[in-house]
Structure 1
Amino acid sequence: MGKHCGVNRLCFLGTVLALASVATIVTLWTIALTGGGDDVTAPWDSYRLPSALFPLHYNITLWPQLDTSTNTYLFTGSSSVLFQCEVETDLILIHVNKLNLTTLDGSHMARLSAAAGDFVPDILSCWLQTNTQYLVVHLSNKLKPGHSYQLYTEFRGELADDLAGFYRSEYIEDGVRKIVAISQMHPTHARKTFPCFDEPAMKAVFHITLLHTPGSVALSNGLEKDVLNITVDGVNVTQTVFEPTEKMSSYLLAFVVSDYTPLQTTHGDTLMRVWARTKAIEQGQGAYALNVSGPILDFLQLYYNISYPLKKADQVAVPDFYFGAMENWGLVMYRETKLLYDPMSSSNGNKETTVAIIAHELAHMWFGNLVTLRWWNEVWLNEGFASYVSYLGADHAEPTWNIKDLIFLNDIQGVLEVDSLSSSHPLSSEEDSIVLPEQILAQFDIISYSKGAAVLRMLSDFLSESVFVEGLRGYLTHFSYSNTVGTDLWEHLQMVVENNSVSLPQSVGVIMNPWVLQEGYPLVTIDTIQGKVSQRRFILNPEEQVTSRLPRRAEWAVPLRWMKDGEAQTEIWWLMEKEDVNLDMRSRASWVLANVNMSGFYRVNYDFGNWERLLTQLNTDHQIIPLINRAQLIDDLFNLARAQVVPTPLALRASTYLQQEKGYIPWRSALNNLQYLYLMLDRTEAYPLLQDYLRKLITPLYIHYNNTTDNWRQTPEQHMDQYNQVNVLHAACRASLSDCVSLTSDWFRRWMDNPENNTILPNLRPAVYCSAVSAGGNAEWEFTLDQFTRSTVSSERSHLLSALSCSSDAGLLHRLLSFTLSSSVLRWQDGATVIASVAENRHGNNVSWTFIREHWEHIHTHYGSSIISEVTERFSTPDELQQLKDFVEQVGLESSSAVEQVLERTRANIRWLQHNKEPILHWLQQNQETVLH
């Protein structure tokens, strides 16, 4: 912390002179840069670092001090960064945010020296430019190009509970409150921990030393090389010195200080450890993560053809974490619910989450860490790639699960909906349009992760996986330990395409540009009478004004894999223009189906005759149509109906075949789409009929699982069947199937009667808990809350927390929401999930909307503006739209892209309800006599 003057005449004079000096520097810089004009700002007013200086390595010492007796949580530290001068300059700009810098030698907040004993300019002045988050150091003379210098600082910061930078997290174990010091540097929080050049292209080597309480364990990216007990300022501490990191970006730096216990093994030459609370490790909750990490690492080393470059791979389960996980090189952090798996109480969904997220984070060790994108405007390539490869890695670790098929449900289906809004955004933006920290953070959305994964999957499909991987290997080898832009990958893929004589209609870069540089995706329309194939951008609400961010929208290069009467065509047919003709697709008798296995990122519409033939096939022998395409047909039809491209009754007719369907992916796709009907119709006279219709659809599948699992007492062997067992139980209870509600309520009551003996199958617990709380009253809710507070298993706590939001009692739901206002019952990371879950409940939507308006300042601070999207999902009346507009204007969110999407979605909902309520009501009434009760 900087030294403070007493109030005396000499100190006052010194302060005035210092301020005058800074003012003079600012004035001179402005005049020098603008020639006396007002067009160019000073360098410290830019949010991007100048290219004059480049870091080489840092020496950082940090001492987190966690005094639970006085609730004092802070850290002190020192940092020395060696940097090279690239361009002559008399300014040093280095990122600092929310740190108190110590005044050194009674003069400045930094000390400058030369690496080779060269001449060192004096520091004229230092100041903190808080808006752009810089320490500005102004020198008496210019630094010389090619010479290296060293900047030393000392500082102090708060170990807050804000989940950013170096922060703290708390938990209770054996009745004792324990504190963990954790870091989250990504994307722009390293500057909250130490002064640094905090941009991804500013790679350096980091030498880390941590001082910590004796008995605790310190971790960082490098392996511990020296652990000593020493005394600092009269305090006994443990000093842990780590091996230097590889050359890497500042956002990948990581620390943990805790009393955690590891599970560990050696896999090849790599030390692999899973760290968590001691009780969690003792209960075996880290074993699954450790067991699958080795096979995933093996797969990735073969896939990339580059050995894992570090000596160790630590994975840490932390109580509070902003993201689901973070790929810090050699020290990956996870939320407990993502990494830990309890074989006694976790579900198969929890197990899949663990293997998939480990595969995602380990994929980053090469794509993102070894080779890093130059700037945050191309986040999609980093996150989209890891999302895509996570399916491959998880499939290798669990080969019987068919997990690669789930990309349709987990990624493609959801992002197709978001990307069909006119307010969507491209995968890649102009570099100078993403500069503010909040703009950078906003890039980490469903477009970057899920559309990125879908587009890369499409690219791999039309190139072939072998060509894709060969190009990827060349790219990673060529750019190891450096930075790239997205076009570098296209160039390396193009080299492999040419070397392997792969036939493409255009170069890889030309094909990919429209998918990457413009928002949205195509609706491909196939006229099987004429063989005409056309494309246009699919917009969910055609009444919205659509403006492209590009001077002229390019047509997508659309790779069409298709089949005719169940026979797959071997060659991809490319649609390159707005309209083309494929005479082979002409047919008045055979059905045509395009986008086989949903390999391309687009929707498909057909002439009415072909739709009729496809529906006939679904109702006669649905298995002739590939599994993912059965899910795709349902999803495309319901969304085409929302966009008024086809009538909604056609989509409902397609769903009738589900009475014969036993596949999880088509069923989940259908229920996702029927959810929209529930959101729109649950306050109308159509709601009871919709409930009747869902009971009709679900009853055959409910009977199937009842018969094949010994009245729900057994778990199916196959992974997807386990999912579908949960799926049908949840859907049947939601549709008020009396047998389901009675069954789940009885199971829950037995547990309430004997709280120490929960016999409900782990897979079924989320569905059972929700159904029982929904059908029950205060007693069931209070019991669930009590079990939530007692449970030490993170996945079980997650299921119980979700169940609390299923109540039909508005008062209980409001009480649950009130828990989000402090961290005494809920962790901050869980608040947004709770608010969204209550809003999804038809009894809780108004409760949550009122709640966030009453507590907006607090909610916006902790959960951001995107929470509005979750709470207003069922808004579908002009009055609700006006409420939304008034609120947005009141709190000043008009310019938020998330809010633009919410407003557009609400307008689309209003329009949809006006056009579709009566036709749906009529269709449901016509089909009512066949409903099974």
Structure 2
Amino acid sequence: MCLKDILTMVKGNMVRIHFSAMCVGCTFLGMASLATIVGLWTVQLLPSTGPPAEPWNEHRLPDTLVPDYYNITLWPRLQPNIHGLFVFTGNSSVVFKCLRETDLILIHSNKLNLTSIDGYLAKLSALGTSVAPSIQKTWMQETTQYLVIQLKGKLNAGELYELYTEFVGELADDLAGFYRSEYEENGEKKIVATSQMHPTHARKTFPCFDEPAMRAVFYITLIHDRGTVALSNGMEIEKVDTVLDGQPVTMSTFEPTKNMSSYLLALVVSDYTNVTSANDTLIRIWARKKAIEVGHGDYALNITGPILKFFENYYSVPYPLSKSDQIALPDFYFGAMENWGLVTYRETNLLYDPVISSNANKERTATIIAHELAHMWFGNLVTLKWWNEVWLNEGFASYVSYLGADFAEPSWNVKDLIILKDIHHVFAVDALASSHPLSSNEEDIIKPEQITEQFDTVSYSKGASVLRMLSDFLTEPVFVQGLNTYLTMFAYQNTVGEDLWNHLQTAVDKTGTVLPLSVKEIMDRWVLQMGFPVVTVNTTTGQVSQMHFLLDPESSLQRQSPFNYEWIVPINWMKAEVEQSRFWLTEKTAFHSDMKATGNEWVLVNLNITGYYRVNYDTENWECLLNQLTENHEAVPVINRAQIVDDAFNLVRAKIIPVTLALKTTKYLSEEREYMPWQSALNNLDYFYLMFTQTDVYELLQNYTRKQVTPLFEHFKTITEDWSHVPTGHTDQYNQVNAIRFACSTGVDGCQNLTTGWYRQWMDQTNHNPIHPNLRSTVYCSAIASGGADEWDFGWLMFKTATIGIEADKLMSALACAKDTTLLERYLGYTLDASIIRKQDATSVIVYIASNPDGQTLAWDFVRKNWVYMFTEYGVGSFNFANLISGITKTFSTESELEQLLQFKSDNAEIGFGSGTAALEQAIEKTKANIKWVAENQREITDWLMAESA
């Protein structure tokens, strides 16, 4: 056997075995992947297929065993072995309780090479008075990712047992489980061993009961090279330098974790350093040494304490851990991960450089820290039982992240931006017939790929939107009172969504809050059926009605609704600047005489968009609102100015109002200076650009947009004193970017010279970038689009030599703006070489290129040609297939493109689409709707734009 040179250490009841470095050089590790090794074990011991009735063919664990605690020792090798593989060795003991008598142990294990112990893949012992039954046989069940242990006798209910395993795993660069991340510092290649257990990758690191309800305590020891730092969820409690098989190493032992789910475990070995703040809670920001030295972790450190304190007060529950570590990783699939006590981030989301980072980067850092810290209570302290209700976990953190960031940066007014970033964003997806409810049936979400698919826009953004609505109609004090009792009662336990509704209902009853139905009865309508309503108000009669809003009303619904697509809708409204009280729309149609309007009066529904629904009016009220915008737009609240535009454009797509009415909502924009209405309008005009890029409408659209944006461009030119500084307001800075971006893209005089001049100055003085960080993405794109190979090559050089990920991200996006297809084809090719484009960034680059009219066809052809390779070689840990498919197909609006899409689905049906399965169906639906929309509206749009240009 390869694992024969073993050093054993005994600490209390913890047995840790540390594997010899000799094992790294074993011949069998020269195989292409350790997954193959696991397969060899399977073939030798038992075929991996069996009758469907067997428990090991089921994807859910039986209810016979529950873990109590784990003792885990891992030794990641930060240098490749003689076969070029990076590996980790380890052992794990799990102490579990038998709930029901059984002769079978199922425990998750995936892509681990388990070492034979006395002829079996595990060793079992009893901790009580009974004797553990002997093992009959063991094998790996690959399809369900189990280590299967059949026993000769039965485990006794109520008894504790210990299962011990030894294993070798690959420290791969696949961004899942225990993996490696690489970066270069001072000309030297550095390796980080880090982890991403969420949602089903803990089993790729050690054998475990890898379901969220299987909470346990984790005792962790990491063996690592001398001079490196080891981190885990708990504080380090002992560090011992020793020598293992001739290698000088350090053994770091950590305090036991809280009782938690396996997906929250975190492990990191690196040569990072940190900045520290020790007030009530020890806070440490970890990153590459150079990044910490130049202060890139300071902003995160400064706001983490206040955000933690905010959530302690918000939940009325103290932060339950001894420290809060946050670490910036060069290679990371998600934006961040809420591991309890050791939160992992993409570098670009945690590090902030006041010289290079934009205000958008700063906001991203604040909101994502708030999102992850919100999970320390809601998600970690109290965890949902199963992944079918992941929306409640992620939607909640998404909602309160705005509250936490607003507390840290009160001058930003960031809470309002949820409208653009979440509500309007998810409306577009949830208005499709192929959308899905927030909660799914538990039995429908069992496979890893089905679980991954739950982490989509609906779960995050619709979840945030309906919880914001809930908090609004309950009032925030009632909402947080229910949260407090929920978190207190279920601390260190698992729940279902109904538990939260019950605690909110108790708060409602105690405070005397009046609701038309119970919290559960109201929320079930929003959670258990997909979609949302459009509320139509007839101000001549006072009639208010609701209808399921679909972008394509002729599409066939794929799901039946338990509530017949009716909602309990909170209606808050105002009439001609006089705010009115809320009422509830509890049926299809109701009448409210107060909502009748006369003369020039107008009615405005869904104030500040607190409700998750769209609004339509009778023609007279639409005209009154448009007149008000023209005469004095500030009489309408700024959020609702953004709403009027967004609702109108989407009502057009649903064939509810004429397209010219939506276009009229943009006429007043020449007088608008606020960010939210402008961003709403540009987002919706973008759909027109996508649909008409290859038609004669495109030039007319350019002319109209140029006419509307020119006053905005001149406004910012004036208030910034000819672009010599930036505005002081947070959203004003965003709108300055809009002004330059659309002025340049539509040909406003002087804009292109401005951006190319700045870029040329940078090319001439490489060490001095004169472009303000807020404007860099826009300026880089504009200059590269209008330039040639020299501009692109310079951008590429700056991308490769960027010292902070935030700057690299801006250049990575801008390089896709080139018009030269040769450059774009070269760039696409780079995405399949992880040494050139990091795996985590490959999806983004392809989508960026697809967003460029000159690159769209190239990107689509590239994805079709390379789908099998990307899907099999890169896998779900590297490619976001849902974003890839939706990003590539968003411009599709012709029968030819629909045929190509259907052929793509057919050609790859056997290999599949993984987490992109739902996105593919949505793409097909959107394309069909786009085809019809273009055919029905092109003539009318052309006529209106021509009239406005005259």
What TM-score, normalized by structure 1, do the two folds share?
A: 0.95
For residues 197-249 of structure 1, the C-alpha deviation after alignment (integer angstroms, 9 at most, x for no partner) is 00000000000000001110000000001011112233221100000000000
Determine if the alignment matches structure 1 residue 845 to structure 2 residue 856.
yes
C-alpha separation in 2, matches of 1:18 and 1:633: 61
For residues 49-96 of structure 1, the C-alpha deviation after alignment (integer angstroms, 9 at most, x for no partner) is 001000000000000012158543100000000000001101000000
Does the 8 Å CA contact 1:2/1:103 hold for their aligned counterparts? no
C-alpha separation in 2, matches of 1:912 and 1:754: 49
What is aligned with 1:131? 143
Percentage of matched positions with identical amino acids = 55
C-alpha separation in 2, matches of 1:793 and 1:120: 55
- Report 1:247-262 matches (<5 A): 247-262=259-274
**Residue type at the aligned position of 2:529:** Q
Does the 8 Å CA contact 2:192/2:269 hold for their aligned counterparts? yes
C-alpha separation in 2, matches of 1:19 and 1:626: 68
C-alpha separation in 2, matches of 1:897 and 1:801: 28
1:536 aligns with one of 547, 559, 569: 547
- Report 1:730-809 matches (<5 A): 730-809=741-820
C-alpha separation in 2, matches of 1:658 and 1:779: 37
What is aligned with 2:584? 574
1:91 aligns with one of 104, 114, 117: 104
What is aligned with 1:407? 418
**Residue type at the aligned position of 1:62:** L
Secondary structure of the structure 2 residue equivalent to 1:620: helix
C-alpha separation in 2, matches of 1:890 and 1:840: 24
In the TM superposition, what is the alpha-carbon distance from 1:588 to its structure 2 partner? 2.9
What is aligned with 1:34? none
Secondary structure of the structure 1 residue equivalent to 2:74: strand
Determine if the alignment matches structure 1 residue 417 to structure 2 residue 428.
yes
What is aligned with 2:303? 292
CA 1:20–1:66: 2 relative to 1, 3 Å: closer
C-alpha separation in 2, matches of 1:482 and 1:92: 23
Determine if the alignment matches structure 1 residue 52 to structure 2 residue 73.
no
In the TM superposition, what is the alpha-carbon distance from 1:825 to its structure 2 partner? 1.5
- Report 1:450-849 matches (<5 A): 450-551=461-562, 553-569=564-580, 571-589=581-599, 590-849=601-860
CA 1:720–1:915: 2 relative to 1, 3 Å: same
- Report 1:227-376 matches (<5 A): 227-268=239-280, 270-376=281-387
C-alpha separation in 2, matches of 1:93 and 1:824: 39
What is aligned with 2:938? 917
What is aligned with 2:202? 190
C-alpha separation in 2, matches of 1:850 and 1:532: 51
In the TM superposition, what is the alpha-carbon distance from 1:853 to its structure 2 partner? 1.3
Determine if the alignment matches structure 1 residue 72 to structure 2 residue 74.
no
CA 1:302–1:18: 2 relative to 1, 3 Å: closer
Determine if the alignment matches structure 1 residue 873 to structure 2 residue 885.
no
Secondary structure of the structure 1 residue equivalent to 2:831: helix
Secondary structure of the structure 2 residue equivalent to 1:400: helix
What is aligned with 1:162? 174
For residues 402-421 of structure 1, the C-alpha deviation after alignment (integer angstroms, 9 at most, x for no partner) is 00000001101110010000
Determine if the alignment matches structure 1 residue 100 to structure 2 residue 110.
no
Does the 8 Å CA contact 1:2/1:109 hold for their aligned counterparts? no
CA 1:680–1:68: 2 relative to 1, 3 Å: same
CA 1:720–1:148: 2 relative to 1, 3 Å: same
In the TM superposition, what is the alpha-carbon distance from 1:282 to its structure 2 partner? 1.1
Does the 8 Å CA contact 1:65/1:72 hold for their aligned counterparts? no
Secondary structure of the structure 2 residue equivalent to 1:805: helix
In the TM superposition, what is the alpha-carbon distance from 1:118 to its structure 2 partner? 2.1
What is aligned with 1:35? none
C-alpha separation in 2, matches of 1:22 and 1:454: 49
Does the 8 Å CA contact 2:733/2:774 hold for their aligned counterparts? yes
What is aligned with 2:14? none
**Residue type at the aligned position of 1:462:** F
CA 1:605–1:234: 2 relative to 1, 3 Å: same
C-alpha separation in 1, matches of 2:62 and 2:723: 64
What is aligned with 2:214? 202
Does the 8 Å CA contact 1:220/1:256 hold for their aligned counterparts? yes
What TM-score, normalized by structure 2, do the two folds share?
A: 0.94
CA 1:528–1:80: 2 relative to 1, 3 Å: same
In the TM superposition, what is the alpha-carbon distance from 1:354 to its structure 2 partner? 0.3
C-alpha separation in 2, matches of 1:18 and 1:778: 53
C-alpha separation in 2, matches of 1:672 and 1:461: 26
C-alpha separation in 2, matches of 1:649 and 1:817: 39
C-alpha separation in 1, matches of 2:474 and 2:636: 24
Q: How many residues align?
A: 906
For residues 459-483 of structure 1, the C-alpha deviation after alignment (integer angstroms, 9 at most, x for no partner) is 0000000000000111000000000
CA 1:2–1:229: 2 relative to 1, 3 Å: closer
C-alpha separation in 2, matches of 1:26 and 1:97: 16
**Residue type at the aligned position of 1:84:** K
In the TM superposition, what is the alpha-carbon distance from 1:808 to its structure 2 partner? 1.1
Secondary structure of the structure 2 residue equivalent to 1:354: helix
CA 1:914–1:2: 2 relative to 1, 3 Å: farther
CA 1:18–1:476: 2 relative to 1, 3 Å: closer
**Residue type at the aligned position of 1:332:** V
**Residue type at the aligned position of 2:225:** T
C-alpha separation in 2, matches of 1:363 and 1:239: 32
What is aligned with 2:12? none
Determine if the alignment matches structure 1 residue 112 to structure 2 residue 124.
yes
What is aligned with 1:36? none
Secondary structure of the structure 2 residue equivalent to 1:874: coil
Secondary structure of the structure 2 residue equivalent to 1:610: helix
**Residue type at the aligned position of 1:225:** I
What is aligned with 2:33? none
**Residue type at the aligned position of 1:558:** V
Secondary structure of the structure 2 residue equivalent to 1:66: coil
For residues 298-349 of structure 1, the C-alpha deviation after alignment (integer angstroms, 9 at most, x for no partner) is 0000001111111110000000101000000000000001001111111000
**Residue type at the aligned position of 1:608:** T
C-alpha separation in 2, matches of 1:506 and 1:338: 41
Does the 8 Å CA contact 2:45/2:138 hold for their aligned counterparts? no
Secondary structure of the structure 1 residue equivalent to 2:771: coil
Does the 8 Å CA contact 1:297/1:362 hold for their aligned counterparts? yes
Secondary structure of the structure 2 residue equivalent to 1:128: strand
C-alpha separation in 2, matches of 1:194 and 1:761: 47
For residues 28-67 of structure 1, the C-alpha deviation after alignment (integer angstroms, 9 at most, x for no partner) is xx7xxxxxxxxx6111111000010000000000000121
2:906 aligns with one of 889, 892, 900: 889
Q: Provide the alpha-carbon RMSD of the alignment.
A: 1.9
Does the 8 Å CA contact 2:108/2:147 hold for their aligned counterparts? yes
- The unaligned stretches of length 5 or more in structure 2 are 4-25, 29-39
What is aligned with 1:33? none
Secondary structure of the structure 1 residue equivalent to 2:665: helix
What is aligned with 2:154? 142
What is aligned with 1:12? none
For residues 523-578 of structure 1, the C-alpha deviation after alignment (integer angstroms, 9 at most, x for no partner) is 11111111111111000011211243335525200000100011111x21100001
